[in-house]
Amino acid sequence: MTRIDDTFARLRAENRKAFVAYIMAGDPDAATTTEVVKGLPGAGVDIIELGLPFTDPMADGPTIQLAGQRALEGGMTLQGTLDIVRDLRDEDNVTPVVLMGYYNPIYSRGVDRFLKEATEAGVDGLIIVDLPPEEDEELCIPAQRAGVNFIRLATPTTDAERLPKVLQNTSGFVYYVSITGITGSGAADAEKVAPEVARIKASTDLPVIVGFGIRTPEASRDIAAVADGCVVGSAIVDRIGRGDAVEDVLAYVRSLSDGAHSA
């Protein structure tokens, strides 16, 4: 059982949905990220997704691309990201942390070394968007062996033939992308999402969490109501990027988590 598994077990027992928040590590600097990360559990966040800044974030929209650029320009590294997780673990050994990003920084560090350092820092899961199931031996399988959940994305274009492959070695939860396209584009539609979530849940016992296109407490509630929870990323990153005070960012996150938890 990982922290992610424990979290979903607790939420099921409480008959509550999960709220997941994404921010970019190092945006605009390590100190701010650390302050926000430490404040997220108190703002109602059940699982923290921490972005790994990368020079070529092909699946991300302008908001997260710019956040990654700011982080890299500020000197954020993979090691720095792990240090942020380690700082959180000094105060919080319960809230799961998932690293989300691309394979290149991990490959450059070396998979074995990365997994050893990630588990020591307190990382619970990985979402690596450019590693398809056909390449599970690269990182997915070693991560599972190390006790790190490997979380896969499913999309509106993941058809019945492809879905079993996507689910094959997934653990922790399934991240359903509510819209086609890059992060930060469009708006999630609960009526369209509901049958897709049901389709995925018919093939797996894993929780299904829905992300992309959620910006308001109402949207957070509506999407969580038809899934096991929701993820908000770009809308939070946008507020950090425009320079909102940490307490204001966390107040916004609280409004979103209250929405999800009211579903």
Q: With contact defined as beta carbons under 8 Å apart, do 67 and 14 qualify?
A: no
| Residues 6+ positions from 158 with CB-CB distance below 8 Å | 166
Q: What is the pLDDT of residue 57?
A: 82
Written as six digits, the tokens of 251 are 């107040």
Q: Is a pLDDT exceeding 90 seen at residue 42?
A: yes
Can 135 be counted among the known catalytic residues?
A: no
Asked, for residue 97, whether it belongs to a domain, the answer is yes
Asked, for residue 94, whether it belongs to a domain, the answer is yes
Q: What is the pLDDT of residue 159?
A: 94
Q: Is a pLDDT exceeding 90 seen at residue 99?
A: yes
**Residue 59 lies in domain:** 3-258
Annotated catalytic residue, options 27, 60, 124, 196? 60
State how far the Cα of 218 lies from the Cα of 65, in Å rounded to an integer: 26
Residue with tokens 């921010």: 23
Annotated catalytic residue, options 49, 124, 222, 238? 49
* Number of domain units in the chain: 1
State how far the Cα of 92 lies from the Cα of 82, in Å rounded to an integer: 15
State how far the Cα of 154 lies from the Cα of 158, in Å rounded to an integer: 6
CATH of the domain at 234: 3.20.20.70
Can 134 be counted among the known catalytic residues?
A: no
Asked, for residue 186, whether it belongs to a domain, the answer is yes
Q: With contact defined as beta carbons under 8 Å apart, do 51 and 22 qualify?
A: yes
State how far the Cα of 102 lies from the Cα of 127, in Å rounded to an integer: 8
How would residue 56 be classed by pLDDT, with cut points 50, 70 and 90? confident
Asked, for residue 263, whether it belongs to a domain, the answer is no
Please state the rounded mean pLDDT for residues 205-225.
96
**pLDDT one-digit tens code per residue, 133-174:** 999 999 999 999 999 999 999 999 999 999 999 999 999 999
Least Cα distance to 224 among 184, 181, 176 occurs for: 176
How would residue 183 be classed by pLDDT, with cut points 50, 70 and 90? low
Q: Which of 22-31, 143-152, 173-182 has the lowest mean pLDDT?
A: 173-182
